[in-house]
Amino acid sequence: MVKVGLLGLKTDRETVVALLHDRGVIQIEPLRKEALELLEPEHGGELQRQVSDGLLRFRTLKASLPPTPAGPPATFPSLDAILRAAAAVPIDPEVLELKREEDALLTEGRDVRTTLQLLERHRYFTGPLRLLRSAQLLSFFGESSPDALAKLQGEVNALGESVLLPGPREKESVRFLLAVPQKEADAVSRIAQQSGVHLAGIPPLDGTIEAELPRLNGRRDAVEARLAEIRTRLAAISRDWYSRVASLEEALAIENRKFEAWTRMGAGRSSFALEGWVARRNYAALETALRQRVGDRIDVSRIPTSEEPPTLMDNPPGVRWFEFFIKFYSLPQSTEFDPTWIFALAFPLFFGLMLADAGYGVVILGICLWMIAGFPGGRHVPGSIRGFVTMIMGPSGMQLLARTLLPGCLLGISLGVVFNSYFGAHLPFYTGFFDPLHSASKLLLLAGFIGLGMVTLGFALGALKAYFHHHRRELIAKIGGIVFAWGVAGFGLLTIYHSFSVARPISDLAVAGLVGGLGLILAGEGGQGLMALTEIVSHILSYLRLVGILLASVILALVINTVSYGMFVGSSSSVALHLVYIVLGVLILVVGQMFNLILGVFEPGIQGARLIFVEHFSKFYEGNGRPFQPFGSMRTHTRPSAVDTAGRAVDAPGPT
């Protein structure tokens, strides 16, 4: 990233801002204090107020109209054209009046339906409802369980005069009418709440329930009929105007965003200035485009600065999916190495190695493809499961996560074929090339070398970072970490295989690595470096969990299959008992395999990400970067009104 400054004439300001907006390559920053000493802060004035008011108006209209298929994107040659087009839209009074009436009718309809349900359930009361309202009495319709009603009646009777008229009794509830003195209203409400009794106030009606029900039904039908008329009219208005309203709302939102950029500018009598961050690769093209639009009336220059630039992550498709994990952990600083490539290569490897079962891999792959396809038929998934999943992550996040799991699933399927493992079972017609249970030591050795490689790579990246940032002592310590890690690995392997001997050069090399690495770490970090020694060993050994999780899944699947198979083929003197065993076997097989499948998603995913975040990133990665937020907007209903000489679409200049 480079920081740039622009100095131009006020007459070109709208042209320049429009071009910057539609290119979307600059993050506009507030002017430095030194620049503001020479310039005044800029304000949009009356024109900005008109745009802001217009945006509010058209957002309200857009929200009030039912969406209809939008027409082709609209083009507005200038801000004046947008304001003229907005003034020519005459539907506000009718739409707003219809929406106010609709809201009132919706509230009334809801109240009428609630009253109808209440009266329908209490038709046992045959007297006029006006008798239940007086200055001395407070009346309720209620419903509760018989036990709760008995408790309520006992406590209410203790308060003094009260009337309780029971209604129909169902299996688990009783409906009733309760009248109590006005002065005891608070006490009765408290008793009802404590007893678990639902009380509802008497509707403000005069006649009997039988007389009021037809009138309420008629009012409900009238409300629904009027609502249908309103919605029909709004739909007709929307067919004629929605596309125009949507395009003006978007155009005004874009203009309002442009005015927001003004507040970060400085202005003189006839000039303006702004500063911002641009990706280095976009700087030359931006400067060329600006000069082609306004000629030599603008000065574009780089600003030397020691400020921390914003971070622009720009990885190729496929690798870009894994930016999700990096941003979740911490956005890299602009001066740091972007570790997305490492994550994109290491995470699928770890996931596939810990899964390593063709059956589970195919199921997880199918679920991922279903999520990527947009969850077709997702409405049939039980609501409790949908709620749990959406509580963790939204649909778009789930789709992105599914894409990152695809390569790991494919590797897991491939290793499952190599191991001849299908839901923990072996196919009888061929022998696997490798058995994880019988060759666990070889897998542990492989995991150890993976750990050594990841720790070494982490220290190497940390050393490069220290070199480019001119941190000499840190560079020495990182190199010492690499030497010590290899010394530990060599010493450990020689000890395991009983090959360590002071007379052997390879043993001397391992000891030299331990001593030399320790010396470099102490030289770089001092006494604090001693704490890093155990951390290096533990981080290398931590990668053994790759095999541990694999073996745990294999053994769990083997136990599930063995127990289920034993129940299927077990003999019993009773046919009925044998059928019970078969049912239990099926239940154990299904539930157990589902449990192991869930572990096959979460354990490799969580542990694979943890190995990268903790054991690898800790060697070189700081994070806490601030994101690059370019000045620009997405267009759906509008399009830029002109094309510059570089072939890029840009807005035409507005009035000066």
**How far, CA to CA in Å, does 51 sit from each of 31, 71, 392, 416?**
24, 23, 39, 62
pLDDT attached to residue 649: 41
C-alpha–C-alpha distance, residues 52 and 258, integer Å: 11
C-alpha–C-alpha distance, residues 350 and 359, integer Å: 18
For residue 644, name the pLDDT band (cuts at 50, 70, 90): very low
- Helical residues (DSSP H) of 122-208, grouped into ranges: 146-157, 185-195
C-alpha–C-alpha distance, residues 429 and 446, integer Å: 28
Instruction: Show the 3-state SS of 544-605.
Output: CHHHHHHHHHHHHHHHHHHHHHHHHHCCCCCHHHHHHHHHHHHHHHHHHHHHHHHHHHHHHH
pLDDT in tens, 485-499: 999 898 888 888 766
pLDDT over threshold 50, residue 181: yes
| Alpha carbons within 13 A on the beta-carbon side of 461 | 18
Contact 178, 199 (CB under 8 A): yes
**How far, CA to CA in Å, does 206 sit from each of 128, 131, 211, 213, 397?**
6, 8, 9, 12, 56
pLDDT in tens, 27-54: 999 888 887 778 877 776 788 899 999 9
pLDDT over threshold 90, residue 432: no
pLDDT in tens, 207-229: 999 999 999 999 999 999 999 99
Among residues 570, 563, 568, 550, the alpha carbon closest in space to that of 592 is found at 563
Least confident of 228-237, 384-393, 612-621: 384-393
pLDDT over threshold 70, residue 287: yes
pLDDT in tens, 307-318: 889 999 889 988
Among residues 111, 133, 121, 143, the alpha carbon closest in space to that of 207 is found at 133
CATH code of the domain occupying 110-220: 3.30.70.2750
Where exactly are the structural domains of the chain? 2-89+229-302, 110-220, 440-542
C-alpha–C-alpha distance, residues 9 and 267, integer Å: 9
Q: Identify which of 338-342, 371-375, 429-433 has the greatest average pLDDT.
A: 338-342
pLDDT in tens, 182-203: 887 788 888 888 878 888 888 8
Contacts of 231 (CB under 8 A, 6+ apart): 66, 102
| Mean pLDDT to the nearest integer, 441-454 | 93
Contacts of 355 (CB under 8 A, 6+ apart): 361, 364, 408, 409, 411, 412, 415, 416, 550, 553, 600, 604
pLDDT over threshold 90, residue 457: yes
Map residue 230 onto helix, strand or coil. Answer: helix
pLDDT in tens, 506-557: 787 888 888 998 899 888 888 777 888 888 999 999 999 999 999 999 999 9
C-alpha–C-alpha distance, residues 185 and 365, integer Å: 62
Beta bridge partners of 166: 176
For residue 652, name the pLDDT band (cuts at 50, 70, 90): very low
pLDDT attached to residue 20: 92
